[in-house]
Amino acid sequence: MTSQVDEVLLRSLTPRVLAILVRRGADFAAAEDAVQDALVEAVRVWPADPPRDAKGWLVTVAWRRFLDAARADTARRRREDHLDAEPAPGPAPAVDDTLLLYFLCAHPSLTPSSAVALTLRAVGGLTTRQIARAYLVPEATMAQRISRAKRTVAGVRLDRPGDVATVLRVLYLVFNEGYSGDVDLAAEAIRLTRQLAAVIDHPEVAGLLALMLLHHARRATRTAPDGSLVPLAEQDRGRWDTESITEGVAILQAALARDRLGEFQAQAAIAALHADAPTAEQTDWVQIVEWYDELARLTDSPVVRLNRAVAVGEADGPRAGLAALAALDDSLPRHAAVTAYLHERAGDLATAARLYTEAAHKAPNLAERDHLTRQAARLNTRRRH
């Protein structure tokens, strides 16, 4: 999109415009297509002729597009007569329209990849091409995924909220996975979570937003200029985004004060303790272990227990960390990497090097594989001298 159009404003209006069309009686799938057309039109027209009322402009154009499409579809001729009349206002919404769209796009009947794609398009206002590039699939494939998703939720009534946890899982996935085309998915996830937090008062929504902000604050320091991973302990903390950290911590504290703990708040609390440490050595590992205990209680996830073992290793020494690992299945992702690290800390470089090589063999992505191979190489080089 051109720089002359405020893309963030435009896209922030997407769910509201879409909801208005649906309230006027348009079916969700056709309304969604019409809103996309209106967004494209806005990008073309606004630079030369900016509207005074951006939302009103989008509603008018999208509604016209919807009617044109309905008219072109002869099978809908009977309905068209009805729609062409001045639209009757729908029932007054008891719940914010934007919120209902989040629930629809994260509906439990959708697969995670479909829910992600539909959320980015219908709530985020991204184009199919942008979403396809972000997930490295052909545009036609992404278009199919989105239209199938729309068919899946076609019968869902847009009238009452669902389980907010399903929406949070989708937003977490947007933040955590995907590549970068011309869209920054992490920033988009933050925008969507912020927008959600504005329409629903829920401590876990705040928890997820805080978690995202606290991790996003470290982003610039997580990779070296050559693309290699930089572990948390070696990151240049002076380059962490303090504004983002301050906001994340404030949001988290307000959420925790409500005493309805959930897994995102607990994860954010751990991220906040890392953000709070001026140096890696000053990290409050004892408190971090306590938060992992809370997390394990909330989720009973083996991945959490694995991360807890790392924290125990830092708080009580590598032997204690290895003891905490002993109870865990060694086929867990990153089990070998964690064990290697704890053996290195305990001074057993031969075992550590062997396990780093094994961990590299099992690494789920190239950056991690290269990082783990470097760790093995570093220890093997040191042992030769």
Partner 1 sequence: MAKYLLLKHYRGAPASVNDVPMDRWTPQEISAHVQYMNDFAARLEGTGEFVDAQALAPEGTFVRYDGEGRPPVTDGPFAETKDLIAGWMVIDVDSYERALELAGELSAAPGAGGKPIHEWLELRPFLAAPPTIAQ
CB of 376 to partner 1, least distance (A): 4
- Which residues, numbered 6-65, are part of the site for partner 1 (CB under 8 A)? none
CB of 232 to partner 1, least distance (A): 19
What is the Cα–Cα distance from 171 to 75, expressed in whole angstroms?
37
Q: How far is CA 341 from CA 250, 303, 314, in A?
A: 33, 16, 11
CB of 225 to partner 1, least distance (A): 10
CB of 366 to partner 1, least distance (A): 5
For partner 1, which residue of 180, 223, 228, 301 counts as binding (CB under 8 A)? 228
What is the Cα–Cα distance from 118 to 138, expressed in whole angstroms?
16
Residue 288 CB partners (closer than 8 Å, separation 6+): 270, 273, 274, 311, 314, 315
Total number of residues binding partner 1 (CB under 8 A)? 21
Per the DSSP assignment, residues forming a β-bridge with 223 are: 229
Residue 240: Cβ-neighbour burial (10 angstroms; 0-12, 13-18, 19+): middle
CB of 183 to partner 1, least distance (A): 20
For partner 1, which residue of 49, 86, 226, 281 counts as binding (CB under 8 A)? 226
- Which residues, numbered 340-379, are part of the site for partner 1 (CB under 8 A)? 353, 356-357, 360-364, 366, 369-370, 373-374, 376-378
By CB under 8 A, is residue 380 in contact with partner 1? yes
Stretch that binds partner 1, among 106-114, 141-149, 226-234, 334-342 (CB under 8 A): 226-234
Give 131 or 355: the residue with its C-beta nearer to partner 1. Answer: 355
Residues 120 and 126: beta-carbon distance below 8 Å: yes
Residues 153 and 109: beta-carbon distance below 8 Å: yes
Give 169 or 374: the residue with its C-beta nearer to partner 1. Answer: 374
What is the Cα–Cα distance from 108 to 343, expressed in whole angstroms?
43
Binding positions for partner 1, rule: CB under 8 A = 226-228, 353, 356-357, 360-364, 366, 369-370, 373-374, 376-378, 380-381
